[in-house]
Amino acid sequence: MNDRRDFLKKSLLTLGAAGLTGSLAQAFNFSTGAKAKISIKKGDVILFQGDSITDAGRKRDNLNPNDSNAFGNGYAFMAASTLLNKHADKDLKVYNRGISGNRVPDLLGRWQTDALELKPTILSIMIGVNDFWRTKDRGAVNTPEQYKAQYKELLDKTVSALPGVKLILIEPFGVNNVKHVKDDWYPEFPKYQQVVKELAQEYKAVFLPYQQVFDQALKRNANGAHWTTDGVHTTMAGANLMAEAWLNLVS
C-alpha cells in the first residue's frame, strides 16, 4: 500500500511540473501545454476505442454510428448521447469499437477496419488494464516496456494514416481493494499508467487521467464498490463519472 501512495505522490508532482494544475480530474493537452479542450466541428467523426470498459455490452454486429444499441451502457454511451444532444447542429458521427478483453496487440490486429477505415477526426483510446491484468491472472508476459512499444506501433500507424486526427489517450485505472484490484497490483500497474502519459506527451495528445478522477471521487464516497463492480468495471455512478470527465475535454 505504501508503494501505491508513494507512486501517487510522485505522479502528482510530475503532473504539476508539466503544467497540470487545479483539479486532479483535469485532463492535459500536450499539443498546447494547457488544460485540455477539444473543439467539436461540423462533420466530426468521433471514435471510442478500447476494451470492456468501453465495450460495456454493446451489440458488436451493429456497426452504425449514433445508435444506442451499438454503444452498450457505459461511459462511451453516456458521453456520445450528450455530444449528440449538445451539438445537434454539427452532424456528428460517433462510433464505439471497444471489445471486451482487448489488449494493445488485439487493437493492432483490427485497427485497419475498426479505426483507420472509419477516418475519425477525434480518436479516444482507453487500453492497458488487460495488458497488465493478464500478467497477474493468466501468467502473460508483457512488461511496461513491451506495452509501450506495442502502443507506439499503434499510434505510429494512426498518425501516418490520419495525420490530422485529435488523439485522446486515456489512463487505465484501478480502484484498490474492490474484488480483483489488490495491493499486489502496486507498484507495477502504475508503470503501465505512466506509459500512457509518456505517449500522450510524445504524440502531443490529450491525456485523460482517470486514476485521478476515481481517486478524487473516493473522497466523496470512499466505498469503491459505489464506483466499480470489481475495481475495474464501472457501476452506473462510475460510468457517469467517466463520461463527465471525458465531456470536460470538449468545448
Tell me the backbone φ, ψ of residue 32, rounded to 5 degrees: -115, -15
One-character DSSP codes across 112-124: HHHTGGG--SEEE
Report angle CA 155, 243, 90 to the nearest 5 degrees. 75
- Judge whether 87 counts as a catalytic residue: no
Which residues partner with 34 through β-bridges? 29
Catalytic residue among 52, 124, 131, 215: 52
Catalytic residue among 44, 51, 124, 233: 233
Contact 170, 210 (CB under 8 A): yes
- Judge whether 106 counts as a catalytic residue: no
* Collapsed DSSP state (helix, strand, coil) of residue 144: helix
Catalytic residue among 67, 106, 114, 230: 230
- Judge whether 52 counts as a catalytic residue: yes
Asked whether the bond before 187 is cis by omega within 30 degrees of 0, the reply is: yes
- Catalytic residue annotation: 52, 230, 233
